């Protein structure tokens, strides 16, 4: 067989045994097998985080879902809302990175947030729902459930159809209110009338 017709396997074999015959194949054309197949240490590290079952693991898992397109039947926006909810709660409570992600149930986490703030968080029910969904799919993925990516898709119809709207009321103060995605004009007028009753004379 002519040298120019060498199969790829032959070239790899040369790289492994250290053959460097410039007459047959320029060294620059043969990449060392270790270079070709070595795992990216960053990817290995991230995968280890995802599989740790910890607070940091859940964070890494949610990042991965969004960046790789594994969206479980949900929109990217919904996944980002779930991740934002988890980040808020994690930061509010300063949850240790190495703590098991489900050491505390979502409901208990929100109770801790309420105690830490001294008042209930606006949209607490929505936060609790999103935490449950994050925990459910992460747990299924960790346990090797072949249908882990359908867990959220099945519950999508019964999930809360609300979002938290924020409004800069005055310098240094934003207000937040939970609203339905399909808010009607009539409901908007009702809300406006209710807000009118909150002012001091």
CA separation (Å) from 66 to 80, 127, 162?
7, 19, 21
Residues 96 and 138 in one domain: yes
Looking at the fold, whether 111 and 30 belong to one and the same domain comes out as: no
Both 13 and 89 in a single domain?
Answer: no
Residue (of 41, 42, 10, 44) closest to 25 by Cα position: 10
* Per-residue pLDDT tens digits of the chain, which is 201 residues long: 444 444 444 433 443 344 344 444 443 343 333 333 344 445 556 777 789 999 999 999 999 988 887 666 667 788 888 999 999 999 999 999 999 998 999 999 999 999 999 988 888 888 988 898 899 889 989 998 887 776 555 444 434 577 777 777 777 677 778 788 788 888 888 888 888 887 765
Please tell me whether residues 47 and 21 are part of one structural domain.
no
**pTM for the full predicted model:** 0.55
Distances (CA, A) of 136 to 41, 153, 165: 29, 12, 26
Give the β-pairing of 162-170 and 173-180. Answer: antiparallel
Residue 44: what pLDDT? 53
How many domains are contained in the chain? 3
Residue 201 lies in a domain: no
Based on the domain organization, do 150 and 190 belong to the same domain? no
Contact 9, 16 (CB under 8 A): no
- Kindly state whether residues 192 and 141 are assigned to the same domain: no
Domain co-membership, 136 together with 65: yes
Indicate whether 144 belongs to any domain.
yes
Do the beta carbons of residue 108 and residue 159 sit within 8 Å? no
**What pLDDT does residue 36 have?**
32
Range of the structural domain that residue 189 is part of: 164-196
User: In this structure, are 147 and 119 located in the same domain?
Assistant: yes
Residues linked to residue 179 through DSSP beta bridges, in sequence order: 163
Examine the domain organization and report whether 12 and 76 are in the same domain: no
């Amino acid at each position: 067989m002519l040298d120019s017709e060498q199969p790829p396997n032959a070239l790899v074999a040369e790289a492994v045994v250290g053959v460097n015959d410039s007459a047959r194949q320029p060294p620059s054309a043969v990449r060392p097998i270790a270079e070709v197949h070595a795992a990216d240490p960053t990817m290995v590290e991230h995968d280890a985080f995802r599989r740790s079952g910890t607070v940091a693991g859940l964070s890494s898992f949610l990042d991965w879902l969004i960046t790789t397109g594994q969206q479980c039947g949900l929109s990217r926006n919904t996944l980002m809302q779930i991740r934002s909810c988890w980040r808020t709660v994690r930061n509010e409570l300063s949850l240790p990175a190495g703590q098991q992600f489900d050491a505390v149930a979502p409901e208990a986490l929100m109770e801790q947030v309420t105690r830490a703030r001294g008042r209930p968080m606006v949209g607490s029910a929505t936060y609790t729902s999103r935490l449950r969904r994050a925990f459910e799919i992460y747990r299924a993925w960790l346990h090797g459930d072949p249908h882990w990516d359908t867990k959220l898709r099945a519950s999508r119809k019964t999930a809360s159809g609300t979002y938290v709207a924020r409004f800069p009321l005055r310098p240094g103060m934003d207000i937040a209110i939970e609203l339905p995605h399909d808010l009607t004009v009539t409901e908007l007028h009702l809300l406006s009338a209710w807000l009118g009753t909150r002012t001091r004379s």
